[in-house]
Structure 1
Amino acid sequence: MSTPTGFMEYQRELPGDRDPLERIKDWNEFHRMFSDEQLRTQGARCMDCGTPFCHTGIELEGTVSGCPVNNLIPEWNNLIYRGLWREAYERLNMTNNFPEFTGRVCPAPCEGSCTVGMTGDPVTIKTIEEAIIERAFEEGWVIPELPLTRTGKKVAVVGSGPAGLATAAQLNKAGHTVTVYERADRIGGLLTYGIPAMKLEKEVVQRRVDLLIAEGIHFMTCTEIGKDISSEELLEQYDAVVLCGGATKARPIGNVEGHQLNGIYPAMDYLNSTIKSYLDQDLAEGTYISGKNKHVIVIGGGDTGTDCVATALRHGCLSITQFGTHAKSPLTRDPINNPWPEYPNVYTLDYAHEEARALYGEDPRAFSVLTKKFVGDENGNVKELHTVQIHRYIDEQGRKIYEELPGTEKVWPADLVLVAVGFEGPERTIIDQLGLVTDRRTNVKARYGDYKTNVDKVFAAGDMRRGQSLIVWAINEGRGAAHEVDKYLMGSTMLPR
């Protein structure tokens, strides 16, 4: 333990972010870093409790509690307190392939289940994690680690998001020859095209990709399995295939009148167009979907919708509103319906909401709102959106029921509408070509823990198997799938899950 009374002696602190009104002028990351002494103080707050929940990684009431990759959090908190940075990095590297990603964009379920959080503020785990990996890169401790021997087995990984990269990294360590196929022009999946640069700078992603290349992993971009290479061809060429293509089929809003109007886009199309233009030409060529001088409405209250808010602000929108069908969360955790160590469902301002409030004076979110119809102008362009307030509840069959509240109808001006209501599951091309069985949510059916599909030597992991989820779950599944593939190929495995 760092110090038995640290959590009583020191208050939780976070490094201050860049000023919201300044950071919306650029696309750089908005976080700042703590000094070594500040990190040491925050590490001292860790109790190293007898039964730490921070690294359990279990699901409670539909949310994750603790870290799904089972990071040895109390150990590296203690090492940071003692100033042993390299040892802290070695502990972190044992469980997490990509702490530079999770340290930036993970919602930190570890902090939600921190024991200190039962009666006070949790340890700043996420901040310390990012600091450890960045210090490791600065000091040159993160170097390519090539396998001593090659097994002669070849594995194809389809998709280069966090699940695919974790799978490839682990299988490469086992000595297999790994090729990762990516249909986009850059490696990274949603890490590159999906998460805006102000949350995760793309140099950070490329830094890790370059390391994986140096370790011997082969990457094939602009190659879509099922089109450029048939799925059957892949099976013939490789000893095992791991599908990590994500859940990229956007959920439509075809039941809303006027959904076909111009100016209504899936959220990922909007984000991807901006990110690609930013990477290709620093937005100079203007080929992206722009929110400049527009009244922008975002339908959907999750992280993707929040990223759309931040992007529209940087485009220079006239106004921005984010709709959610959920009610506004309470300021403090409900001890009955949301007890520790469940992930705390409390009201917070994410980075984009802070920016919108700084610019316009209020939280851009509208809660308990249901979109009823879109109205267009004489040219077929969306010009306004009609809503009603609702009461949302779960019925006895577990279905979401939206009860409209009379007299709460409202009309909103809207030149650009971004739909961020989630994803239906993976795209069907590979599934249909290989005859893969899917579950009731249309994800590839493969049991968690063995990742085997109904087709011999084909495995599935990440969002393609479990549905839209967290990056940290994708890394968990990539590591687990690699464990099972190595065992399938060699009869046994030394890879950790």
Structure 2
Amino acid sequence: MSTPTGFMEYKRQIPADRNPLERVKDWQEFHKHMAEDELRTQGARCMDCGTPYCHTGMDMAGGTFGCPVHNLIPEWNNLVYRGLWREALERLHKTNNFPEFTGRICPAPCEGSCTVGLIGQPVTIKTIEEAIIEKGFEEGWVVPQPPEKRTGRRVAVIGSGPAGLACAAQLNKAGHSVTVYERSDRVGGLLTYGIPTMKLDKGIVQRRVDLLIAEGIEFITGTEIGKDIPAQQLVDEYDAVILCGGATKPREFNIEGSELNGVVYAMDFLNGSIKSFLDSNLEDGNYLSAQDKNVIVIGGGDTGSDCVATSVRHGCSTVTQFGTHDKAPLERDPISNPWPQFPNVYTLDYAQEEAKAIFGSDPREFSIMTTKFVGDENGNLKELHTIQIQRIVDETGRKIYQPIPGTEKVFPAELALIAIGFDGPEQTLPEQLGLATDRWTNVKARYGKYNTNVEKVFAAGDMRRGQSLVVWAINEGREAAREVDKYLMGSTVLV
């Protein structure tokens, strides 16, 4: 334990963010960093619990508690407190290939499950995680580590998102020759084109990709398996194929007027903006701009919030974010939301802070449902019609949303961004390979084993489990690599 009474002696601190009114003028990361002495003090707050839930990593009541990659959190908290940063980095890399990603974008279920949070504020785990890896890069401790020998086995990984990268990194470590196929022009999948640069600078992604290349992994971009190369060809040419293509099929939103110009899926909006920024700093104009438009974002999750932040940076006239859920309470409900579940409490994330700073209030509308889109004579969106809703349990026990009569409202809008989630993976690969799928159209592969009904073919990440957290994708990529190594070699040293 760092100090037996550290959690009582020191208050929780987190790094300050850049001023919202300043950061909306650029596309740089919005968070700042803490001084080393402050980080050591935060490490001292860790109790090194006898049963630390922070690194448990389990699904509970529809949510995650603890760290899905089972980070050795109490160990590296103590090492940071003692100033042993290199040793902390070694512990961190034992369980997480990419702490520079999770330290920035993970919602930190570990902190929601921190025992200190039972009686006060949890340990600042996520910030310490990012600080460890960044110090590792600054000090030159993070260097390519290619395997000493090769096994002669060849493996193809389809998709270069967090699951694909983690899987490739682990299989390469085991000595296999790994080729990663990515249909986009840049490596990273969701990390590159799904998350705005102000949350995750793309130089951070490329820094890790360069390391993986130096370690011997081959990346082939601009190549869509199932279209440019038949899926069966990879199965024939490689000793194993791992599908890590993600859950990229957007959930359809078919209501009256959804065909109007200006009704757009969120990922199309975000992808275009990110690519244009990376290609030309937005100077090429190859993106859908929210400038001078009234923007409605339909969806209360992280993707919806990213749409809010992007619209603000484009210079929108107004932005409003719709959610079907109720406004969260200020404090955790011990009955419906008990520890160690992630606390469902009212907060403003970075995008909502920015919108509030500009427009004067939280941009979110809660318990609201869009009933139709209305356009002008040219087929362009001009307004949305909504109604307030309440969640009830019907006679069959299902939870449904019931409209509240008399709460109808009209919102002016020239741009509506649909951010209501995804309906699983695209079906090209499952259909070409004859893969079994579940009722959500995800590829069937048992958690912990990852093998499909087709010999040599494995699946991991969102393509197997459905839309989920980046940290779950890393978990599944690592575990799938372990199972593939067992399949190829009969045993494995991977964990």
Same fold by TM-score, threshold 0.5 exceeded?
A: yes
Where does residue 344 of structure 1 map in the other structure? 343
Query: Structure 1 295/45 Cα, relative in aligned 2: closer, same or farther at 3 Å?
Result: same
- Supply the distance in 1 between the matched residues of 2:395 and 2:388 (Cα, whole angstroms): 23
Where does residue 465 of structure 2 map in the other structure? 466
Confirm or deny that 1:328 pairs with 2:349.
no
1:279 maps to amino acid: L
Q: Secondary structure at the match of 1:344?
A: coil
| TM-score (normalizing by structure 1) | 0.99
- Supply the distance in 2 between the matched residues of 1:362 and 1:173 (Cα, whole angstroms): 50
Query: Structure 1 397/146 Cα, relative in aligned 2: closer, same or farther at 3 Å?
Result: farther
Where does residue 302 of structure 1 map in the other structure? 301
2:380 maps to amino acid: N
Query: Structure 1 336/452 Cα, relative in aligned 2: closer, same or farther at 3 Å?
Result: same
Where does residue 78 of structure 1 map in the other structure? 78
The Cα shift of 1:399 comes to: 3.6
- Supply the distance in 1 between the matched residues of 2:419 and 2:493 (Cα, whole angstroms): 41
The Cα shift of 1:76 comes to: 0.5
The Cα shift of 1:285 comes to: 1.1
The Cα shift of 1:395 comes to: 4.4
- Supply the distance in 2 between the matched residues of 1:40 and 1:224 (Cα, whole angstroms): 46
CA RMSD of aligned residues (A): 0.7
Where does residue 154 of structure 2 map in the other structure? 154
- Supply the distance in 1 between the matched residues of 2:34 and 2:280 (Cα, whole angstroms): 33
The C-alpha deviation readout for 1:36-91, integer Å capped at 9, x for no partner, is 11001111110001110000001110101000000000000001100111011010
Where does residue 487 of structure 1 map in the other structure? 486
Confirm or deny that 1:175 pairs with 2:175.
yes
1:308 maps to amino acid: C
The C-alpha deviation readout for 1:424-472, integer Å capped at 9, x for no partner, is 0000111100000000111000000000100001000000000000000
Where does residue 32 of structure 1 map in the other structure? 32
2:300 maps to amino acid: G
Where does residue 121 of structure 1 map in the other structure? 121
1:410 maps to amino acid: K
Q: Secondary structure at the match of 2:417?
A: strand
The C-alpha deviation readout for 1:301-348, integer Å capped at 9, x for no partner, is 000000000000000000000000000010100001110001111111
1:474 maps to amino acid: A
Confirm or deny that 1:64 pairs with 2:40.
no
Aligned length: 495
The Cα shift of 1:392 comes to: 1.8
The Cα shift of 1:402 comes to: 1.1
Alignment of 1:380-399 (within 5 A): 380-395=379-394, 399=398
Where does residue 435 of structure 1 map in the other structure? 434
- Supply the distance in 1 between the matched residues of 2:154 and 2:144 (Cα, whole angstroms): 20
Where does residue 91 of structure 1 map in the other structure? 91
Where does residue 361 of structure 2 map in the other structure? 362
Alignment of 1:57-456 (within 5 A): 57-254=57-254, 256-395=255-394, 399-456=398-455
- Supply the distance in 1 between the matched residues of 2:331 and 2:215 (Cα, whole angstroms): 46
- Supply the distance in 1 between the matched residues of 2:295 and 2:393 (Cα, whole angstroms): 30
Identity %: 73
Query: Structure 1 405/9 Cα, relative in aligned 2: closer, same or farther at 3 Å?
Result: same
Query: Structure 1 381/123 Cα, relative in aligned 2: closer, same or farther at 3 Å?
Result: same
- Supply the distance in 1 between the matched residues of 2:369 and 2:399 (Cα, whole angstroms): 13
Q: Secondary structure at the match of 1:157?
A: strand
- Supply the distance in 1 between the matched residues of 2:186 and 2:393 (Cα, whole angstroms): 41
The C-alpha deviation readout for 1:235-255, integer Å capped at 9, x for no partner, is 11100000000000000111x
Q: Secondary structure at the match of 2:295?
A: strand
Unpaired segments ≥5 residues, structure 2: none
2:67 maps to amino acid: C
The Cα shift of 1:393 comes to: 3.4
Query: Structure 1 395/164 Cα, relative in aligned 2: closer, same or farther at 3 Å?
Result: farther
1:403 maps to amino acid: Q
Q: Secondary structure at the match of 1:241?
A: strand
